[in-house]
Amino acid sequence: MSYPTVEEKLNSLKVTPPSDYELKCVEKVSRGAYEIAVQRTADILDEGYEIFMRSSMGVAGDSIVAMFTAAGDLVNASAGTYLHAVIPPIVIKYVLKKYRDNPGINDGDIFYTNDALYGGIRNPDQTAIMPVFHAGQLVAWTAALSHTTETGVCEPGGMPLSATSRFDEGMNLPPIKVGQNFRLNNDIIELFAALGIRAEANVTVDLKARCTTADRVRTRLVEMCNREGPEFVTGLFRRMLDEAESGARKRLKTWPDGVYRCVTFSDAACLKRGLIRNCYLTMTKKADHLMIDFTGTSPENLSSNNAHPQAVVGHLANYIYEYVFHDLPISSATFAPIDFIFPEAICLSPTPRAATSNAVMICIGAMSAIANTVSRARFPSQEWRQATASMGNGGNAPVIAGTSQWQMPFADMIAYTINTEGQGARCTHDGMDAYGFPWCAFGRAPDVESMENEFPMLVPFSQHWPDSGGYGRFRGSCGTAQFWSAHHVPMLFFLSIADNSSVQTPQPLFGGYAPPTIPGLTIKDTHVTEMLSKLGTGTLDFEALICGDFGELTTEPNGRSARPIAGDKTISVLMSTGGARYRDPLDRDPASVHKDMIAGLCSAWSAKEIYKVAWDPIRERVDVAATEKLRTEDRRARLARGVPYAKFEPNWLKRSPRPEALDLYGSWPDARPLAPVIRP
């Protein structure tokens, strides 16, 4: 078997035991020199990240720049996204094992990969890696990783909805040498141009940006070796790993031992509709160790909504580095106390032929479940203020492609929506409205003017989406809504990647509500520019559009196949989901509801029906006495509806979804495979 097994990939995430040489090198690193050098590694990586952002085409920031030991263990990184942090050690250790003699590992070599079977997230997420030599000795590795917009697949955007196997996914590169002597090979550039012909400039420029970034970090590490000596750098890296592991174990020890479980669902696998148990996560915490078990997750399916295990671990890293290990290095060592169980042939550990280009969509479940389980584990500890409900984790990704107003081919995501999702509620505060991209903590939404300049589109408004955060004592934050239409061109192609039109994945924390579902919304057969010119004194906003003030609104599942859209003839409404909430909405301070009403973030219906707040729309005031009465009545009504668990359970166990809704789920209720998935 040429590609690494699941066991080999998970083992590669673990830190390599120190050699005698490394232990001797550690002794040469004094405390003061260590602290200065750690900061120096951060400075080098920040410089590399700045180079990356300035030289690549992407502006969203979903990138990472990293350095590794000679054995391939991640030491530190500068990140826009933590998703890619876990990937390079698998690839580097594979290269060390397989390529040391043929084709060889030499100073100035550039290695490259994007294949999830060999350790990647999915094929749009691509990695450039360089060895660092000093006086002929391999002392380190560097890497630069980012998302690309095109992979030569059957649909634009690199994330095909119609793919059923890896053979439908275009570019899948195992670790290969793409350059020697510090030069990228021209034949490789031509290969990327051919596979990325829908967006050739994006693909080739980003390829070069990854390579030049990895080389810049390599150059700085060579300078450090020249200044301090290779023994110092080796000892520094090993000590950084030891310190990171110690910090992680110390933090985990403060949580109470126990078993924490969260089960999440989604309603589609690309274009196939149906219920999926996209994550059954059982987290067992004992002393300074976590065991995370995915037994019970739905089987793999005939779509690209599958993810290999290391991609799942990458999604856990998103939450863990943002909320748990936020003050520790981005390091292989911080994951040393964490182990994983992945049963075979589930959607989070599929067979080798599976399509995985939409791995990020199926991993929404894992990313939501880890937030829930970790927050419940932290809540009884001194870290309780940092317990946080899941972010929106919708990942609703509209893709457009065609020829721009500048006569240039393009294929790209409309990044505004996915980069303005809501944050989950905190234990002491509401979530942050339009927080950002759950996959990319340091990413940003592009400016509308930049979007309109780069792509043939018109964006008349972008706003908060009222009521889009989960209701609770502290609400999940609101997402956004955006109106767009094709403009300046006769037509373009549009598709949408989503799976939360009927069922939302994130679970609330300690009661309350998840965020609402998101349908696909369109107004067809209109003339957008004429409509805008005749707007007069009317209000063009989200509420006006969905109320039909500007044409008949059609709804459909948000995940939509590629289709042509005529210029100025169709209004598309894009929405990003809000965050999950914390505790009972009846405990919410009426003054907070008042504030949200004034800001347009909460509707009168929600105030009355969910929060049970008596709102005077004329005076724009809350009637406190009437509110208390409404809440008392609602609590009594809840008690009246309640039944003893012994009576509830037998009736509940008799219930199940319709059989036609379970094609993707597996057997009911335990989600076991009903038949093998056959891929030619």
Q: What percent of the chain clears pLDDT 90, i.e. is strictly above it?
A: 88
- Tell me, what's the pLDDT at 264? 98
Structure tokens that stand for 57 in this block? 């085409």
Q: Using an 8 Å Cβ cutoff, are 195 and 156 in contact?
A: no
Q: What pLDDT sits at residue 410?
A: 92
Whole-angstrom Cα distance, residue 586 to residue 126?
Answer: 47
50, with CB counted inside 10 A (0-12, 13-18, 19+), is: middle
What are the structural domain ranges in the chain?
A: 6-249, 388-588
pLDDT tens string 324-345: 999 999 999 999 999 999 999 9
For residue 74, the Cα-to-chain-centroid distance in whole angstroms is 20
Look at residue 292 in the predicted model and tell me its pLDDT: 99
- Range of lowest pLDDT (287-291, 393-397, 401-405, 531-535): 531-535
User: 19 Cβ partners below 8 Å, 6+ apart?
Assistant: none
What percentage of residues in the chain have a pLDDT greater than 70? 99
> Is pLDDT of 576 > 70?
yes
**Model confidence pLDDT, tens digit, residues 263-301:** 999 999 999 999 999 999 999 999 999 999 999 999 999
Please tell me the distance from the alpha carbon of residue 527 to that of residue 608, in angstroms, as a whole number: 38
Mean per-residue pLDDT for 181-206?
95
- Residue 536's pLDDT is what? 63
Q: Residue 517: is its pLDDT beyond 90?
A: yes
d(CA 115, CA 94): 13
Task: State mean pLDDT over 249-264.
Answer: 98
Q: Give the other-Cβ count within 10 Å of 442's Cβ.
A: 18
Tell me, what amino acid is at 488?
A: H
CB 155 within 8 Å of CB 84? no
Q: What is the pLDDT of residue 1?
A: 61
Token representation of residue 527: 């003339």
Please give the DSSP secondary-structure letter assigned to residue 278.
E
The band of 605, judged by pLDDT with boundaries at 50, 70 and 90, is very high
Strand partners, 36: none
pLDDT at residue 35 in the model: 96
User: What global pTM score does this model have?
Assistant: 0.96
Q: pLDDT tens digits for 640-658?
A: 999 999 999 999 999 999 9
- Distances from the Cα of 372 to the Cα of 164, 262, 378, 379, angstroms: 31, 7, 10, 11
- What are the backbone dihedrals phi and psi of residue 85, each rounded to the nearest 5 degrees, phi first? -60, -35
Q: What is the mean pLDDT of the chain?
A: 95
Residue 103's pLDDT is what? Answer: 96
pLDDT of residue 60: 72
pLDDT digits 0-9 by tens, 538-550: 678 898 888 888 8
**At 537, is the pLDDT very low, low, confident or very high (cuts 50, 70, 90)?**
low
Region 166-177: mean pLDDT is 96
Contacting residues for 384 by C-beta, under 8 A, at least 6 apart: 378, 427
| Overall average pLDDT of the 498-504 stretch | 93
